[in-house]
Each structure stands twice: as C-alpha cells, then as structure tokens.
C-alpha cells in the first residue's frame, strides 16, 4: 500500500501531572504532538504506511521529536532541520466543571520559518496515495502557507487524494493575511474536508440557507458548489456535559446523502487533546478499508472516542481495538 503523507508543525507538549493546575505544578510531563503528526501516528497503528513532513531545529529537541515519530512507526526521511526553535504548548488538564487550558509558546519556530522551495514535494509524494494537512499550517506563517500550497498543487498533479481539517484558529493568523485570503485556494485542491458551520462562516463567508435541509447540509452544498473537487465533507458534534464527560457524533455529506453515526458517551475523559486528529485518521483508514461511507464514518468516530482514553496527543489504539467500539461495545471489559 502506498503511504499517506501528513504535513505540519510538531510542538513540545508540557502538561501538568494528573489534574494539577499550572499554579500547583513543580514539574511537567513531556511529549511531542501536532495535529497532522497525530494523524500519521494513528494511521501507523492501524497498519497504514505513514510519513510526516515538518521542520525541526537541528538540536536535541528536534532529534527527540523525530525519534518519537519513528518509535510509533512513522517515516521521517523528509524532515528538514534548521531554524531557531521548537514550538511549545503547555497543558493543564481539567476535570468536572473545570475546563482544560492550553498556553502556546510557538512564535518564530523552525516550522514557521519554512520558505517555499525548501521541500521537494515531487520527490516526497511520488510514492504516496494521500496528502493530509490542516488549517493550522497556513495560519502559522506566509512561508508555511506557501509550502503547503506547493504540496497540494503537486498532490493534485500526481492524482493523490487530498484531505484537510480546516480547523480555524483566529489567534494564529498574525502575519498579515487572513484565512479568507489564503484558505480558498488551498481547499480548492482538496477531495475531503473537515469543516464545521462556524469554520465555513469564518473562512469562506458561507452561512446556512433556508430550504436546504439542516444547517450543516446547506453549508456543505454551498462549499461543494464553490469547491467542485470536494466530494465529502465531515464533522464531529461534541456535547460537553463536563470536562470529564462528553458525547461525540460524526456527520458526513457526500454530495448525495447525509450520514450520521450513533452517539458515543465518553466518560471519564483521560485526555481529549487530539480527538479530532484521531477522527481524521480513522476516516482515512475507513475510506481506504471499507467501500462504504457509513462504515468509514462509524470507524472514525469510534477511533476518536477511544482516543479520549489514551494519554498524550496521538491515538495509539489499533484497528482491532476500534472495531468493537464501532459495533457498539463500549464496555471496556478486561481482555486477557
């Protein structure tokens, strides 16, 4: 099977022990994570060849982050080294009525200092079948945005499937361009996107219209009219009952029908960071494995639900662990 290539920034994650608040912590737990890399790691656990492309500083932290990718079976041959620093984010895990908190320290990272032409996308993608990126990448810097557009252009030329999680983060767009200026050209090259009604409004100025079904379906129809290459639009619906108890449902519009999954009850939550990335990895696996959109969507949401029981950024469960949850078994009974 040809590989899936993911492209985006990886940061050092420093999280407080257990459920400690920042003010209580006198040490942090260390790992590395980033939305696109989380997708690649999860795919590797499912048995799908995956490669992550990024840029790290040429120091011990960059090498440690590379080692983590290799540990989980992700190819790293095309990682660039250079630039000033590795981005950092700090995590305080919430519980019950106290929400989790994230503080970013990612300015002037090695990835943000990427420039067009640094990556040979023709070479990177020649043995690939799929390219995945998120809206975080073009939000980081003009160079990162242009590098991502290069990747999409080459992927389209080579006939790869291209997916994106549009993932609008208002506070990241600080380099003089807006999402509405940058994202349309990039989404135009995608086959599959994750997009909420809110993201559609913020990034593309698209709002639901009356008489076009549900708000989500209305937005999807307008997105597909504007971006004819897009064939599937998916999203998750999360209800936060508390920081420790969420529900999760997946939805898809495939141009012909609206699909929805059963609701998953997730309680207690061990670590909700990376839940969306687990969903995307599950969807890619499902679409590559099942000849059925509903089964692919069901697998994706089950994978995301299971991620909430895994510490760290990435989903480390196997496909064999997802399938029982996909079929409705959420008992968590002892396996031996």
pLDDT in tens, 164-199: 999 999 889 999 999 999 999 999 999 999 999 999
Mean pLDDT of 250-260: 97
Helices and strands per DSSP (H, E), number in the chain? 11, 15
Residue 84's domain spans which residues?
3-326
Q: Tell me the C-alpha to C-alpha distance, in Å, between residue 28 and each of 15, 60, 85, 102, 174.
A: 5, 18, 19, 13, 28
Give the CATH number of the domain where residue 277 resides. 3.40.1190.20
Q: Give the relative orientation of helices 275-289 and 35-45 as an angle to the nearest 10 degrees.
A: 50
What H or E segment, with its residue span, contains residue 29? Answer: strand 29-33
Q: Give the predicted TM-score (pTM) of the model.
A: 0.95
In a domain, 69, yes or no: yes
What H or E segment, with its residue span, contains residue 260? Answer: strand 258-260
In a domain, 40, yes or no: yes
In a domain, 153, yes or no: yes
In a domain, 331, yes or no: no
Q: pLDDT-derived band of residue 236, with 50, 70 and 90 as boundaries? A: very high
Of all residues in the chain, the percent with pLDDT exceeding 70 is 99
**Cβ contact 40:277 at 8 Å:** no
In a domain, 289, yes or no: yes
Q: Tell me the C-alpha to C-alpha distance, in Å, between residue 147 and each of 30, 114, 117, 119, 157.
A: 29, 7, 7, 8, 16
**Distance of alpha carbon 141 from alpha carbon 87, whole angstroms:** 13
Q: Dihedral through CA 113, CA 116, CA 117, CA 118, nearest 10?
A: 20
Q: Dihedral through CA 308, CA 309, CA 314, CA 317, nearest 10?
A: -120
> What length does the chain have?
336
E strands, 83-127, are 88-92, 101-105
- Confidence at residue 52, expressed as pLDDT on a 0 to 100 scale: 98
In a domain, 333, yes or no: no
Query: DSSP character for 148?
Result: H
pLDDT digits (tens, 9 = 90+) for 133-165: 999 999 999 999 999 999 999 999 999 999 999
Q: Tell me the C-alpha to C-alpha distance, in Å, between residue 187 and each of 27, 162, 181, 216.
A: 41, 9, 12, 18
In a domain, 334, yes or no: no
Number of domains in the chain: 1
Mean pLDDT of 90-102: 94
- Confidence at residue 214, expressed as pLDDT on a 0 to 100 scale: 78
In a domain, 336, yes or no: no
pLDDT digits (tens, 9 = 90+) for 314-330: 999 999 999 999 999 88
pLDDT digits (tens, 9 = 90+) for 72-87: 999 999 999 999 899 9
**Cβ contact 35:167 at 8 Å:** yes
Query: DSSP character for 99?
Result: P
Q: Tell me the C-alpha to C-alpha distance, in Å, between residue 134 and each of 97, 131, 203, 261, 309.
A: 30, 10, 13, 23, 24
11-15 and 245-253 beta bridge pairing: unpaired
Q: Dihedral through CA 123, CA 126, CA 128, CA 132, nearest 10?
A: 50
Mean pLDDT of 110-116: 97
């Amino acid at each position: 099977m040809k590989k899936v290539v993911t492209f985006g920034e990886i940061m050092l994650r420093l999280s407080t022990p257990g459920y400690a608040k920042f003010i209580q912590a006198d040490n942090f737990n260390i790992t590395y994570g980033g939305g696109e890399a989380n997708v690649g790691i999860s795919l590797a656990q499912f048995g799908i060849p995956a490669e992550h492309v990024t840029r790290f500083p040429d120091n011990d932290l960059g090498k440690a982050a590379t080692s983590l990718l290799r540990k989980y079976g992700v190819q790293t041959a095309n990682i660039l080294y250079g630039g000033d620093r590795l981005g950092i984010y700090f995590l305080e895990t919430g519980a019950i009525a106290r929400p989790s908190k994230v503080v970013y320290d990612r300015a002037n990272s090695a990835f943000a200092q990427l420039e067009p032409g640094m990556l040979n996308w023709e070479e990177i993608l020649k043995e690939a079948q799929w390219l995945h990126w998120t809206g975080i990448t073009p939000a980081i810097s003009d160079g990162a945005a242009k590098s991502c557009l290069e990747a999409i252009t080459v992927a389209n030329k080579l006939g790869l499937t291209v997916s994106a999680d549009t993932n609008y983060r208002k506070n990241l767009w600080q380099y003089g361009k807006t999402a509405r200026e940058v994202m349309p050209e990039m989404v135009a090259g995608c086959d599959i996107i994750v997009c909420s009604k809110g993201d559609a409004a913020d990034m593309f100025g698209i709002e639901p219209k009356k008489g076009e079904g549900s708000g989500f379906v209305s937005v999807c129809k307008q997105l597909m009219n504007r971006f004819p290459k897009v064939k599937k639009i998916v999203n998750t619906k999360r209800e936060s009952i508390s920081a420790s108890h969420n529900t999760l449902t997946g939805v898809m519009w495939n141009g012909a029908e609206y699909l929805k999954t059963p609701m998953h009850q997730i309680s207690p939550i061990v670590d909700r960071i990376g839940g969306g990335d687990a969903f995307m990895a599950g969807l890619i696996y499902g679409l590559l494995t099942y000849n059925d959109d509903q089964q692919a969507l069901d697998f994706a949401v089950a994978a995301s639900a299971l991620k909430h029981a895994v510490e760290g950024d990435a989903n480390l469960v196997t496909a064999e662990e997802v399938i029982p949850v996909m079929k409705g078994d959420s008992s968590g009974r002892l396996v031996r």
